[in-house]
Amino acid sequence: MVKTLGGRKLGVTSSHRRAMLRNMAQSLFLHEKVETTLAKAKELRPFAEKIITTAKRGRHDLVRRQVQDKAVFKKLFEVIAPRYAQRPGGYTRILKVAPRSGDAAVRGLITLVS
């Protein structure tokens, strides 16, 4: 039995992966849904939920490290964090969508729970 400690590599370098997750999280917070491959959606979920939890606790400095867009930063603290103030976790939902037509990759829709 092999125990894997890391996340998915997604076929990119670590710096590219970090930038991709930040961009996808910002799009998720701005549009409240993102359609991507299922593997990327599964990697995005814990990343985005940690940012929301940090925003709920009022840690502007830690959130600013992950979210560079001012509009997204403002929405995170004024809309999203108060919405989930009483929720202990589980802010996102992943739904499977029809396969991509070009390469039949499994797609997923990640949304913020209302």
pLDDT attached to residue 5:
76
The model's confidence at residue 4, banded by pLDDT at 50, 70 and 90, is confident
* Residue 6, pLDDT above cutoff 90: no
- Domains assigned to the chain: 15-112 (3.90.1030.10)
| Span 38-83, pLDDT tens digits | 999 999 999 999 999 999 999 999 999 999 999 999 999 999 999 9
Give the torsion sign (CA, 65, 66, 69, 75). Answer: negative
- Rounded distance, CA 110 to CA 107, Å? 10
Over range 85-112, report the average pLDDT. Answer: 97
- Rounded distance, CA 111 to CA 31, Å? 9
* Residue 2, pLDDT above cutoff 90: no
Q: What stretches of the chain adopt beta strand conformation (E)?
A: 33-37, 92-97, 107-112
